Structure 1
Amino acid sequence: MAAVTSLLDSISDIGRDPVRGGYSRPVFSAAETELRSWFTAEAQSRGLAVETDRNGILWAWWGEPQKGALVTGSHLDSVPGGGAFDGPLGIAAALAAVDVLKERGVQRNRSLAITVFPEEEGSRFGVACLGSRLLTGAIDPDTARNLRDDAGTTFADAARAAGLDPEHLGRDEDALARIGDFVELHVEQGRGLGEDGPAVAVGSSILGHGRWKLTVHGQGNHAGTTLMEDRADPMVAAAQIITAVQQTAAAQPGARATVGRIQAIPGGTNVIPSRVDLWLDARHEEDAVTARLVETIHGKAQKIAAFEGCSVTLAQESFSPTTSFDPALQRQLQLALPQAPVLVTGAGHDAGILAGHVPAGMIFVRNPSGISHSPEEYVEDADADYSATALADVLEDLL
Structure 2
Amino acid sequence: MKIILSHPTGNANVRAVAQGLNEAETLSGFYTAIASFPGDWLDRVSGIGALAEIKRRQFHPALQARTKFYPWFETGRLLASKLHLSKLTRHEQGMFSVDAVYRQHDKWVARNLKSQAGSTAYTAVYAYEDGARYSFNEAKRLNIPCYYDLPIGYWRTARRLLKQEIEKWPEWASTLTGFKDSDTKLGYKDEELQLADHIFVASSFTAKTLADFNGRLAPVTVIPYGFPAVEPRSDYNSNGKLRVLFVGGLSQRKGIANLFAAAGELADFVDLTVVGRKASNDCAALDNALNKHKWIPSLPHADILKLMRTQDVLVFPSLFEGFGLVITEAMSQGLTVITTDRTAGPDLITNGENGLLIEAGSTQAITLALENLINDRRRIRLMGRAAQETASKRTWHVYGQELARAIATLNRK
Q: Quickly name the TM-score band, shorter chain normalised.
A: 0.3 to 0.5
Q: Normalising by the residue count of structure 2, what TM-score does the alignment of the two structures yield?
A: 0.33
Between 1 and 2, higher relative CO (CA 8 Å, sep ≥ 6) is seen in 1
Identify, as 1 or 2, the structure richer in helix: 2
Identify, as 1 or 2, the structure richer in strand: 1
Q: Normalising by the residue count of structure 1, what TM-score does the alignment of the two structures yield?
A: 0.34
